[in-house]
């Protein structure tokens, strides 16, 4: 989720019904007085606070929390013969309401073109996901980043899930923040915008100002979403075996494996202390690689809990505002080159990379550096998988399709016992890599001078 560009927020008019919009001074970066934490992290030079690893209250627990979350996945995704609870009824009802009328119309030849048919079922599935709630909305948001993997109508429809998720009422937000931070909202913040900057399936973000004067963004988890997601994962695990061979989309050919992968991703997003630790890991990795074209907002050293994350507020151009960036003198082609190099180096040297890189999760600052946002999904590759990733990239440069498939097997994208010679060898591995790892968007292509 991305704080809006060029929005100014400061003190005064706290907690009123509308957003606090008033004049302020935008953050000005200065390398002459660089904060000490810039030596080890890709942060702004004069941020609102300085991070000391030893003093970060939540950091020591992050690895334990991550191990616990991963250990829970096999239990959540184990297939069962008996439907797991009453939630199955609403899921089957809503999905059936979406799919059955479309199937009837399709069999009767009511659609003039295949595109019209796909457009209707895509819209129906998107509306069903919104009715079913956060887990299915999150799944839709992942599909929306899969250009090239999924039908374009499905991708376009689920992109609406990024921008049209209804926010929680402000009083609900207040309750969560006060419960997790252990104090009244007014005692912690001098201002807190009631209207969120963005609302997504798991959380929403609000602009605020701490009592000590720092401008921040506060990420607040939707109440009860954690228990709700776990129920839905059990339902998905029960449904998945029944869908094998029934979905005519290559990327959805193995539903049980996809449910397990989705569970691994979303379970870690349910504790913001892990996200805060991800921010530290990515910032450290970028600094180690001397990739100073990227900036990570500082998480607050004490204000990070399971459901609330307070972080430094950054500003810049929306990633699709190519015209605005060029008018400001920003070399957009260099922005894209820097992004690609940093991503590839991070994955292959450190085995760490931002796992949800799309235009909504980054923006370009006035000095040309790219600010990364939303670290709920961070990819981590073991040494063995880093070598497999490198082999896949090298095989792609020589159009060695079998080599690419072998590397994808070693990355876990194909079963260990797959017969590579029996696989339909079409040159898609490179395209899959671009979509899953780089996720280029039309604005990205325009920035690179390719469109």
Contact 28, 228 (CB under 8 A): no
**How far apart, in whole angstroms, are the C-alpha atoms of residue 4 and residue 195?**
12
Give CA 55 to chain center in angstroms: 28
Strand partners, 364: 317, 370
Contact 35, 46 (CB under 8 A): yes
Strand partners, 150: 147
Contact 316, 335 (CB under 8 A): no
**How far apart, in whole angstroms, are the C-alpha atoms of residue 368 and residue 4?**
17
Give CA 339 to chain center in angstroms: 16
Contact 152, 110 (CB under 8 A): no
Nearest-CA neighbor of 202 among 256, 258, 137, 153? 137
Nearest-CA neighbor of 37 among 286, 308, 302, 351? 286
Catalytic, out of 37, 180, 356, 374: 356
Reply yes or no on whether 356 is catalytic.
Answer: yes
**How far apart, in whole angstroms, are the C-alpha atoms of residue 366 and residue 327?**
11
Contact 348, 390 (CB under 8 A): yes
Long-range contacts of 169-175 (CB under 8 A, 24+ apart): 170/194, 172/223, 173/204, 173/206, 173/220, 175/223
DSSP helix/strand/coil, 288: helix
**How far apart, in whole angstroms, are the C-alpha atoms of residue 22 and residue 11?**
9
Contact 149, 197 (CB under 8 A): no
- Considering Cα of 114, then 117, then 121, then 127, what sign does the dihedral take? positive
Active site residue ranges: 356
């Amino acid at each position: 989720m991305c704080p809006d560009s060029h929005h100014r927020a400061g003190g005064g008019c706290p907690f009123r019904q509308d957003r606090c919009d008033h004049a302020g001074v935008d953050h000005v970066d200065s390398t002459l007085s660089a904060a000490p934490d810039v030596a080890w992290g890709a942060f702004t030079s004069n941020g609102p606070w300085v991070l000391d690893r030893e003093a970060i209250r939540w950091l020591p627990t992050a690895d334990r929390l991550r191990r616990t979350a991963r250990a829970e996945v096999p239990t959540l995704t184990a297939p069962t013969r008996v439907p797991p609870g009453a939630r199955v009824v609403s899921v089957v009802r809503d999905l059936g309401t979406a799919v059955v009328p479309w199937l009837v119309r399709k069999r009767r030849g009511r659609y003039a073109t295949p595109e019209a048919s796909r457009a209707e079922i895509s819209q129906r599935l998107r509306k069903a996901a919104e009715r079913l709630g956060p887990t299915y909305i999150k799944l839709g948001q992942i599909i929306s980043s899969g250009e090239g993997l999924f039908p374009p109508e499905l991708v376009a429809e689920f992109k609406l899930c990024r921008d049209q998720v209804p926010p929680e009422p402000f009083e609900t937000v207040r309750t969560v923040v006060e419960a997790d931070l252990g104090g009244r909202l007014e005692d912690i913040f001098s201002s807190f915008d009631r209207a969120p900057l963005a609302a997504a399936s798991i959380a929403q973000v609000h602009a605020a100002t701490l009592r000590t004067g720092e401008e921040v963004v506060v990420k607040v988890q939707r109440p009860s979403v954690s228990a709700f997601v776990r129920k839905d994962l059990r339902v998905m695990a029960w449904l998945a075996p029944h869908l094998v061979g029934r979905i005519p989309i290559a990327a959805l050919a193995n539903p049980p494996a996809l449910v397990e992968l989705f569970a691994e991703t979303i379970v870690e997003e349910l504790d913001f202390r892990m996200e805060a630790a991800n921010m530290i890991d990515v910032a450290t990795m970028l600094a180690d690689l001397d990739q100073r074209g990227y900036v990570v907002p500082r998480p607050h050293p004490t204000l990070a809990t399971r459901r609330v994350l307070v972080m430094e507020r950054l500003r810049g151009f929306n990633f699709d505002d190519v015209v605005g960036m060029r008018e400001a003198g920003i070399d957009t082609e260099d922005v894209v080159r820097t992004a690609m190099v940093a991503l590839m180096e991070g994955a292959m040297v450190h085995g760490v990379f931002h796992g949800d890189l799309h235009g909504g999760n980054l923006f370009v600052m006035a000095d040309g550096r790219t600010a990364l946002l939303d670290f709920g999904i961070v990819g981590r590759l073991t040494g063995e998988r880093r070598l497999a990733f490198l082999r896949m990239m090298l095989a792609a440069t020589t159009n060695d399709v079998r080599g690419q498939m072998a590397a994808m097997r070693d990355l876990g994208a194909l079963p260990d016992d797959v017969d590579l010679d029996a696989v339909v060898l079409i040159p898609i591995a490179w395209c899959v890599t671009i979509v899953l790892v780089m996720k280029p968007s039309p604005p990205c292509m325009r920035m690179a001078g390719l469109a």
